[in-house]
Amino acid sequence: MKLVTAIVKPHKLDDVKDALKGVGVQGVTVTEARGFGRQGGHTETYRGAEYKIDLVPKARMDVVVEDSQVDQIIDVIAEAARTGKIGDGKVWVTPVERIIRIRTGEQGADAVCPRAKSAAERR
Amino acid sequence: MDSGNTAWVLAAAALVAFMTPGLAFFYGGMVRAKHVLGMLMQNFFALGIISVVWAVVGFSLAFGGTNKWVGSFDFAFLKDLTGEGAGVPGLTLTIPLIAFLAYQMMFGVITPALVSGATADRLKFAAYAVFIAVWSVLVYSTVAHWVFSPQGWLFKRGALDFAGGAVVHINAGAAALALVLLLGKRRGWPSEAMPPHSLPLTLLGTGILWFGWFGFNAGSALAADGLAAQAFLNTHLAAAAAMLGWLAIEKLMAGHATTLGAASGAVAGLVAITPCAGFVGGMAPIYIGLAAGVVCYLALKIKFWVGFDDSLDVVAVHLVGGLLGSILLGLFADAGVNAAGRDGVFLGGGWDLFGDQVVACVAVLVFSFGASWIIGKVIDLTIGLRVTDEDEVIGLDQSQHAENAYNRLEV
């Protein structure tokens, strides 16, 4: 299992989410994030005093996928999040040691896989 | 006794009472989220403490007796306010004396609350509570006596202040400056950005202030008559023009017309028209408002030049706006609008009124600054004015009140 983390522009969040749904991803966690990169910040002016805002708003998306899906997911995210302008963000992949679906106790691929259903649901 | 006048003054008193919560939100939106309850509390608390202080002794010290420097204890503990012969010496009222007391109480409440914007984010709540109670008795009531009481020396001299340019705004602005100098800067000012946490709250507060200011100024006619209507119109036009003036110079100098600028400009105009509201007519409120928007915007720079941390610009908006309005009244005053007034320079009255306005401004500024500095110093040596560094970092909400404004994970 791999954890794919993407930092994207907030206004691209819906596009990325829809693209992930389109390729069958069953869940994603989104966090409002702030950070700096080469994009740089902006200035805000309050009563004539200028403040440099270095940390710009971003959306952070975390999705756990099976190893075989990783390359496809990265491509889907990168394509959906791209505007071609500086500040489009990053995608990275980290290995996941264990994953458990809290409700059912299912582990590994079953915990993120659409086929996994609880006994109650199967009835 | 006039029932129409009484009805209007009671309604106006309620409008002025509503200004203090308005001020709380005007200021509260401008501070960082960890200090917002501290700011709201300082303003709401004024409604509590000052109202009681006013009933016990404040009103009496402002309006009792015939001495020209200080009031008396004639009305202390709400004595002798009703019945035959009850009244303020020299003041002819067509409303019950207790209505006048209640109306003036709301001015007493909001004036020390204005100070809280300058001392934001670092003044200990206990120190604030003691300061405004003592200040209300020693400074506010004294200045109100000088200017508003027919027995006061500035009133007798002929200085004009319709609704409190000197009594409220110069007075509070000078006190704010004194406290800020005693208190020192916020940690990190001016190198760290301390942007407002919620400008929507600030704009809501501005709307409430603007609405309440009709009671503040038009109510000061103490009657439901043509003078009240003139003050009402002047108040609105000055706020409108000042917003335009502020936004124009802000756009020119800083590049954008901002919502905080619109709010600040409107308040600056309301401040500047306060002394003038019932003494000027015609286009004068528009000129006074435009001047206030531009001058108060430029006055924002003072704190950076001098290096004092007047956090929410009480000096630039209230002290400078109050001085500007009081002094412009020496030019624009029109005895044709109000027989109790005098003609200013532009109406052919010469420089006499202008001189009296300057005397009143300087007297109130110097007295308020000096007395506030002494009260603040005594509190600093006993209770301590400033919260600890740690308390400042975690914020006034937690450190002073054990609360949080926005508990986002508690559902």
pLDDT of chain B, 411 residues: tens digit per residue? 899 999 999 999 999 999 999 999 999 999 999 999 999 999 999 999 999 999 999 999 999 999 999 999 999 999 999 988 889 999 999 999 999 999 999 999 999 999 999 999 999 999 999 999 999 999 999 999 999 999 999 999 999 999 999 999 999 999 999 999 999 999 999 888 899 999 999 999 999 999 999 999 999 999 999 999 999 999 999 999 999 999 999 999 999 999 999 999 999 999 999 999 999 999 999 999 999 999 999 999 999 999 999 999 999 999 999 999 999 999 999 999 999 999 999 999 999 999 999 999 999 999 999 999 999 999 999 999 999 999 999 999 999 999 999 987 665
Segment A37-85, tens digit of pLDDT = 888 888 899 998 888 888 999 999 999 999 999 999 999 999 999 999 9
Shortest distance between the Cα of B295 and any Cα of chain A, in A, equals: 13
Q: pLDDT value at position B83?
A: 83
Distance CA A108, CA B152 (A): 85
Residues from chain B that touch A49, judged by Cβ atoms under 8 A, are 190, 300, 304
Decide which of B70 and A118 is more confident. Answer: B70
Cα distances (angstroms) measured from residue B357 to each of B40, B160, B345, B364, B395: 34, 7, 12, 11, 42
Nearest-CB residue to B250 (from A44, A48, A52): A48
Query: Is residue A45 classed as helix, strand or coil in its secondary structure?
Result: strand
**pLDDT above 60 for A29:** yes
Q: pLDDT value at position A118?
A: 47
Cβ within 8 Å of residue B119, ≥6 positions away: B128, B176, B179, B180, B183, B311
CB contact under 8 A, A48 and B313: no
Cα distances (angstroms) measured from residue B375 to each of B88, B137, B349, B368: 29, 11, 40, 10
* pTM (2 d.p.): 0.92
ipTM over 0.85: no
Among chain A residues, the shortest Cα distance to B193 is held by A51
CB contact under 8 A, B193 and A47: no
Tally C-beta pairs within 8 A across A and B: 31
Cα distances (angstroms) measured from residue B135 to each of B56, B129, B253, B379: 15, 10, 38, 11
Among chain B residues, the shortest Cα distance to A44 is held by B195
CB contact under 8 A, A49 and B255: no
Nearest-CB residue to B300 (from A44, A48, A51): A48
Cβ within 8 Å of residue B382, ≥6 positions away: none
CB contact at 8 A, B231 and B277: yes
CB contact under 8 A, B258 and A45: yes
Distance CA B391, CA B318 (A): 29
* Structural domains for chain B: 3-399 (1.10.3430.10)
Residues from chain B that touch A52, judged by Cβ atoms under 8 A, are 193
Confidence of residue A116 (pLDDT cuts 50, 70, 90): very low
- For B350, left (φ over 0), alpha (ψ -120 to 50), or beta? left
Nearest-CB residue to A45 (from B254, B264, B313): B254
Residues from chain A that touch B190, judged by Cβ atoms under 8 A, are 49
Among chain A residues, the shortest Cα distance to B264 is held by A47
Among chain B residues, the shortest Cα distance to A53 is held by B193
CB contact under 8 A, B255 and A46: no
Query: Is residue B280 classed as helix, strand or coil in its secondary structure?
Result: coil
* Structural domains for chain A: 2-116 (3.30.70.120)
Confidence of residue A117 (pLDDT cuts 50, 70, 90): very low
Residues from chain A that touch B254, judged by Cβ atoms under 8 A, are 45, 48, 50
Nearest-CB residue to A48 (from B195, B196, B297): B297
The verdict on A53 touching B (C-beta cutoff 8 Å) is yes
- % helix / strand / coil in chain A, to the nearest 5? 30, 35, 35
Distance CA B198, CA B331 (A): 39
- For B284, left (φ over 0), alpha (ψ -120 to 50), or beta? alpha
The verdict on B253 touching A (C-beta cutoff 8 Å) is yes
* Token pair of B253 as six digits: 């100098």
CB contact at 8 A, A66 and A95: no
Distance CA B331, CA B383 (A): 45
